Amino acid sequence: MAQEIVFDRELESFKSTAWWLYVFHGLSLAFSLGALSFIPLIISYLKRPDTAGTFVYSHHSWQIRSFWWYLVWMAVGALFIIPVITFPIAWMIWSIAWIWKAYRLIRGFLDLNANKPMPG
């Protein structure tokens, strides 16, 4: 019984950390277009091994993948900013990437609150 209580506290601590990381990723997306997401990214990399064997592990992986794919799509959009003619394409790519990242943060946040692991 005592071990179960300790595990529950530890799991709640892991869950709380992942929750705050979602919040920081969201704030970064809202106020810096994701430029400051490298801070919660580093924390996710550091905290993920501690959560091995729990559903929270999948949330750290989800946040890490979300960051890297968002960065890739922002870089692809940047390729279109140079020629003036394709500038609207850059904004379209960036907008889609922003919406995609917002979706992943919201979905992860909701699944974390429901104690559900993330896919893949």
Minimal CA–CA distance to 107: which of 95, 94, 120?
120
Give the type of residue at 36: L
**What's the rounded mean pLDDT across residues 82-101?**
88
Q: Can you give the pLDDT at residue 47?
A: 97
Query: Could you tell me the pLDDT band of residue 6, with boundaries at 50, 70 and 90?
Result: low
Residue 109, domain member (yes or no): yes
Structural domains in the chain (count): 1
Residue 119, domain member (yes or no): no
Residue 98, domain member (yes or no): yes
Minimal CA–CA distance to 56: which of 112, 106, 120?
112
Q: Can you give the pLDDT at residue 87?
A: 81
Report whether pLDDT(7) > 90.
Answer: no
The two three-digit tokens of residue 15, written as one number: 């869950």
Give the range of the structural domain holding residue 73, as residue numbers without chain letter.
Answer: 2-113
**What's the rounded mean pLDDT across residues 12-37?**
95
Residue 71, domain member (yes or no): yes
**What's the rounded mean pLDDT across residues 76-95?**
85
Residue 118, domain member (yes or no): no
Rg, C-alpha atoms of the chain: 17
Report whether pLDDT(98) > 70.
Answer: yes
